[in-house]
Amino acid sequence: MSALAPTPGQTVGPFFGYALPFDGGAELIPAGRPGAIRLHGTVFDGAGVPVPDAIVELWQADETGSVPQVEGSRARDGWTFTGFGRAPVDDTGHYSFTTLRPGPTEPHRAPFFAITVFARGLMHRLFTRAYLPLDPDTAAADPLLSTVAEDRRATLISRPDEHGFVFDIRLQGPGETVFVEYGAR
């Protein structure tokens, strides 16, 4: 049980653009490195219109499934995989990360990218997961996917493209992304 009441969230507003993005924030590894993949997508509003003032954060395990815990998650030295990325969308609502394919952190678990979404007009951050494409049996065995209604499961699963994976985020409306709230301890 939590003893203290948490501080409420507030919207990131429209003017985060000179504060939160940082050089290399979307490049968890250099694009030319062997094993580099792209995770990208578009943030849409309830009318299906791209949101031009959103920012997406990514947190993930490396290819072997281990979670980086080395100081300097925001630093970019070109060599260290820090597991943390931050990408503002462009004017077409599109974000793009250069990263590694995450490995499973535990045996028989489906690997995923942990995602946080912030935007003007969005009062509090949203959490979700971008799973790698997976077969129905693995989805059925996954502790989270198996509890999501089947007709909404696809919103959590990225689709492959030429360089990696596409994960669109729909804040509202048809195909609304499943957002996650972490249960109380």
Partner 1 sequence: MTQTQQPPLAPLTSPDSASASQAEINAEMAAISAKHIGAAETQPRLDYSPYRSSLLRHPTKDPHHADPETVELFAPVFGHRDVARLESDLTIQDGGEPLGERIVVTGQVLDGDGRPVRNQLVEIWQANAAGRYIHQRDQHPAPLDPNFTGVGRTLTDDQGNYSFTTIKPGPYPWKNHHNAWRPAHIHFSLFGTDFTQRLITQMYFPGDPLFALDPIYQSIIDPAARSRLVATYDHEVTRHEWATGYRWDIVLTGSHRTPTEA
Contact status, residue 20 vs residue 53, Cβ threshold 8 Å: no
- From CA 116, how far away is CA 57, in angstroms rounded? 5
- The distance of Cα 165 from the centroid of its chain, to the nearest Å, equals 12
Q: How far is the CB of 50 from partner 1 (least distance, A)?
A: 12
The reply to whether 26 sits near partner 1 by the rule CB under 8 A is no
> Strand locations in 60-103, DSSP E?
84-88, 94-100
Q: Which one of the spans 27-35, 89-97, 117-125, 157-165 is the region binding partner 1 (CB under 8 A)?
A: 117-125
Site pattern 123..162 for partner 1 (x: CB under 8 A) = xxxxx---------------xx--xx---x----------
Question: Hey, which residues between 70 and 99 contact partner 1 (CB under 8 A)?
Answer: 70-75, 82-84
Taking CB under 8 A as the criterion, the residue among 10, 78, 108, 135 binding partner 1 is 10
- The distance of Cα 34 from the centroid of its chain, to the nearest Å, equals 22
Taking CB under 8 A as the criterion, the residue among 81, 95, 97, 118 binding partner 1 is 118
Contact status, residue 35 vs residue 63, Cβ threshold 8 Å: yes
- The distance of Cα 129 from the centroid of its chain, to the nearest Å, equals 6
Instruction: Specify the DSSP class assigned to residue 16.
Output: G
Q: Is 40 exposed, middle or buried (0-12, 13-18, 19+ CB in 10 A)?
A: buried
- From CA 35, how far away is CA 74, in angstroms rounded? 21
The reply to whether 46 sits near partner 1 by the rule CB under 8 A is yes
Taking CB under 8 A as the criterion, the residue among 31, 67, 140, 154 binding partner 1 is 67
Q: How far is the CB of 162 from partner 1 (least distance, A)?
A: 26
Q: Which one of the spans 25-33, 133-141, 160-168, 171-179 is the region binding partner 1 (CB under 8 A)?
A: 171-179
Q: Which one of the spans 23-31, 33-41, 61-69, 92-100 is the region binding partner 1 (CB under 8 A)?
A: 61-69
Task: Write out the two tokens for 184.
Answer: 């109380």
Q: Which one of the spans 25-33, 132-140, 159-167, 174-182 is the region binding partner 1 (CB under 8 A)?
A: 174-182
Q: How far is the CB of 166 from partner 1 (least distance, A)?
A: 20
Q: Which helix H or strand E contains 137, and what residues bound it? A: helix 136-141
